[in-house]
Structure 1
């Protein structure tokens, strides 16, 4: 059942792209704002960079169970002053940094609750932190590079290799390269890249769960394979076994993410099925 739940969760983002999406979903001044649906809208309009940018913002700020997309919405919408589009931020990151330092004071005093999503719950809004939002965004702009083009950045691995890479190989190269993005650890990098795939912005698919440093997925993997959360199998061998297991999942792509999601939830209640929203 956890596998089926995970398939529905993972495929949901792709499914919403097949439906009609209101333009209000892309408006950060609307209560209906949704950065993932906005990414779909921008992609369909041919605004590739803006679509990728929205996926990044959605990944970094996340959706809080309590306050929804409010934090992402207010940063993207400049607290009502201006929309921080990719063109605007990437052209003048210093302007964004200056704005954010002032915006932080406003957010601390306007009595409006804003929270990071569950996967980002240890992040901070404090501007003097090395993990502050403007530092994260600044590092992301640098990661994309001087061209300011996501398409060019994503094509660089194949240019360097001199050949077309498989979707798995391209995922791995991009994942490794994202170590320069501040505060983006295993989960954030995995979530961002798989979300690009789900919004059909990039043909990539992980063959690895990158379990070094993981908690839930790592213990869940050992438990399902060996009935022992502390089994001493190496990470590489464990990943190989998980890849074999993932191939029986009835999905067209992102089988490893489906497996990771299912394992992470299953290990919380292995003896009795329990639904986990997401």
Structure 2
């Protein structure tokens, strides 16, 4: 149960869900008080996770956070350290690595650290090192194929990224196509400026422009979760003046199942994400939690709609 300041937020969410229903009709998935409270708790949990990243921005962060050979390695905090030291492209690159591998519930950042740090037996593949030797990165992965296949040694992808391949050429393809995306206009700041010229400077429009521009990034562009998670992280880390103006349900899985359950009490209801998206987006006008909170919370809620379960990794 939410406590302290979050207890008030929990109460407000319940009240705003009721306001939405008074104006637009019942949310059929909220068929019991337990379901209603569970959804509100998932929303508070999502708010807390976002607030944690923002709180870290105000704290001291040491260089070990960006060092994959250190037990203190944390790519989110590492990106903050690099930003503070003027390595803007390096920070964005580390945010990409954080998103691609994710933080596993048990293994933590092990997989990201191993690949980023050559399994302790080679260079750290930071932005400049990788850009100068793309072929060397693939060679490192091929050399460590056996280790990659040992999950107890290499580590595992997070739950959000669990379907990604550990095959060297697939990881290398993701890195290569991502690097090409980040550097297409020069540096990442140049890319943001290009998007601003094309779409304007509104945070939601800039987010949408970047989101659509990532279609060619292997492991990101054909789906939506990787792009959504990566770009929202850039926004939270103040690496780009962007925020999602939509939940982007097209091609979604968990969030779409959650939206179908919420509106129709049926995870498999015959409605596309593209059609349902506007209805989910409209909730934000009442809840005022932000699109990332809504997409994250309904995804987690539909896994256990009667009883709150904290999901991580």
TM-score (norm 2): 0.80
1:4 matched to 2:44? The reply is yes
The structure whose RCO (Cα within 8 Å, separation 6+) is larger is 2
What displacement does 1:78 show? 1.9
For residue 279 of structure 2, the aligned residue among 233, 241, 247 is 241
* Cα distance change on mapping 1:273 and 1:105 into 2, 3 Å: closer
Matched residue, 1:202: 240
Verify the 8 A CA contact 1:125 1:133 in the aligned structure 2: yes
* Cα distance change on mapping 1:158 and 1:52 into 2, 3 Å: same
What displacement does 1:202 show? 0.6
* Cα distance change on mapping 1:91 and 1:21 into 2, 3 Å: same
Alpha-carbon deviations, 1:191-236, whole Å to 9, x = none? 0000100111011111222212222211211222233334445544
Aligned residues: 270
Q: Distance in 2 between matches of 1:268 and 1:111?
A: 27
Matched residue, 1:46: 86
Q: Distance in 1 between matches of 2:107 and 2:186?
A: 31
What displacement does 1:247 show? 2.8
Alpha-carbon deviations, 1:216-260, whole Å to 9, x = none? 211211222233334445544422222221233355xxx101001
Matched residue, 2:144: 103
User: Residue 214 of structure 2 aligns to a residue in which SS?
Assistant: helix
Matched residue, 2:227: 189
Q: Distance in 2 between matches of 1:231 and 1:79?
A: 45
1:227 matched to 2:265? The reply is yes
* Cα distance change on mapping 1:222 and 1:147 into 2, 3 Å: closer
Indicate the RMSD between aligned Cα atoms, in angstroms: 2.1
Q: Distance in 2 between matches of 1:86 and 1:107?
A: 22
Verify the 8 A CA contact 2:149 2:166 in the aligned structure 1: no
Matched residue, 1:55: 95
1:173 matched to 2:214? The reply is no
TM-score (norm 1): 0.89
- Structure with greater proportional helix content: 2
* Cα distance change on mapping 1:109 and 1:158 into 2, 3 Å: closer
Mark the structure with the bigger radius of gyration.
2
**Unmatched runs of 5 consecutive residues or more in structure 2:** 1-40
